[in-house]
Structure 1
Amino acid sequence: MSLRDFGPNELMFLIMATRWTILLALIAFAGGGVIGLAVAALRVAPLPPLRWLAAGYIQFFMGTPILIQLFMAYYGSSLLGFRPDPWAAAAITFSLNGGAFFGEIFRGSIDAVPKGQWEASTALGFRFLPTLRLVILPQAVRLMLPPTVGFMVQIVKTTSVASLIGLTELARAATQVNTVTFQPVLVFGTVSLIYFMLCWPLSLYAGYLERKVGQGLQVKMKKPLLLAS
């Protein structure tokens, strides 16, 4: 028997919890993006030990469940004398995990830039970091955008696991509402709709960017033919 029916108050509670899902996703996106950029730079660095270090980082975070990573950050850190709150543990975990995926996305985009750009910069006397920052990254950014926005969808959906360490985001709020209403179809159906409304525009935008980048690449491929004619 339910304690109350699912009504406007319960809906508003879910909507208010959505802001924490969005905030956590933004933190993971920003933190993961910064870490991913550093990881990508290490992946293409001229020193093999730096490339091995970055590859090991990526393999660890891509090869283990994010739930285990979250538990390690929240519960395992107590072995080192730290007691992070759920927000800190979730932010650190999602940033580190996102950094691995962003690192691969950025590295793939960097590798797609013609090798001649590296060689020309070296001939002009540029070292690795100036070449990467001034020559390679500006050209790779367009290639990075579609998969980066697309991965944002995955981040939004993955934030739901943070509910398992007590963070009251959308998924945990849904569990709390269902506890008092005993209307799981209505409650979780509403939550599914909210997640869809968050992710669908991002998916559409990622598809739009992918088409734009594809059109740009086709134009570049046709230019030599036009000049030759």
Structure 2
Amino acid sequence: MSFNLNHLEFIAFASLWTIGLSAIAFVGGSIVGFGVALARISQHQWVRYVAATYIQLVQGTPLLILLFLIYFGVAIFGFNQVPAILAAGLGLTIYSSGFLAEIWRGCLESVPRTQWEAAECLALTDWQRMQKVILPQAMRIATAPTVGFLVQIIKNTSLASVVGFVELAQAGKIINNSIFEPFTIFVVVACFYFAICYPLSLWSRSLERKLNVGRR
């Protein structure tokens, strides 16, 4: 048997799972990461310390180990092994939050200090200052690195196969184990990855132009 439309359909279906898992990781990581980023610039030293420790732990732990710990570690607490989608989603969410938090912390702190002081002079509350003055400016700076990291998340979903999740790369491996045509199969897999990631890069450039960040 050689590579055929059934195999192509299987890879296409797996690419949807890759997109779904990436969306879970990015949305979840964004929510947690934004909170951690705010904690990193908190006025309270102990809050900054806890947030910095979380980021160092996440960034210093390989994603592969993180996935193993979540998938097999829950048994220590008396639970059965979690479903593969849940373990992969949680692991990638934690991983994403650590990196997004540091990216956004840098973007928030790159807003000129005079902007923070001007907002204080307007007697805005902390949240109003962040929402109306700081975040709009930080978003312009954060656009490119955030979308760039989203592409990285998509590629890192290939590690989810270690907990039994069938995503795009794993689908290629499964097909190759049955028909032994690695070059053809993984060229197709690479094309699917490119088809997912390249539009994101174009979207990032478009956003940069709209926000007057990118070069014209």
TM > 0.5 fold call: yes
Larger gyration radius, structure 1 or structure 2: 1
2:84 corresponds to which residue?
86
AA matched with 1:50: V
User: Residue 75 of structure 1 aligns to a residue in which SS?
Assistant: helix
2:159 corresponds to which residue?
161
Aligned-residue offset at 1:210: 4.3
AA matched with 2:146: T
**Is 1:147 aligned with 2:183?**
no
2:94 corresponds to which residue?
96
Q: What is the total number of aligned residue pairs between the two structures?
A: 214
Runs of 4+ deviating beyond 4 Å: 210-213, 215-218
Aligned-residue offset at 1:67: 0.4
Superposed, 1:1-80 pairs within 5 Å as 4-80=1-77
Distance (whole Å) between structure 2 residues aligned to residue 145 and residue 30 of structure 1: 15
State the Cα deviation string for residues 68-127 of structure 1 (Å, max 9, x = none): 001011011211223311111111111111011111111111111111222223333334
Structure 1: 5+ residue stretches without partners: 219-229
AA matched with 2:48: R
Percent identity reads: 42
AA matched with 1:132: M
- Please tell me whether the aligned partners of residues 208 and 214 of structure 2 are also in contact (alpha carbons under 8 angstroms): no
- Please tell me whether the aligned partners of residues 140 and 213 of structure 2 are also in contact (alpha carbons under 8 angstroms): no
State the Cα deviation string for residues 164-197 of structure 1 (Å, max 9, x = none): 1111111111111111111111111110111111
Distance (whole Å) between structure 2 residues aligned to residue 126 and residue 144 of structure 1: 24
- Please tell me whether the aligned partners of residues 160 and 172 of structure 1 are also in contact (alpha carbons under 8 angstroms): yes
Distance (whole Å) between structure 1 residues aligned to residue 68 and residue 127 of structure 2: 36
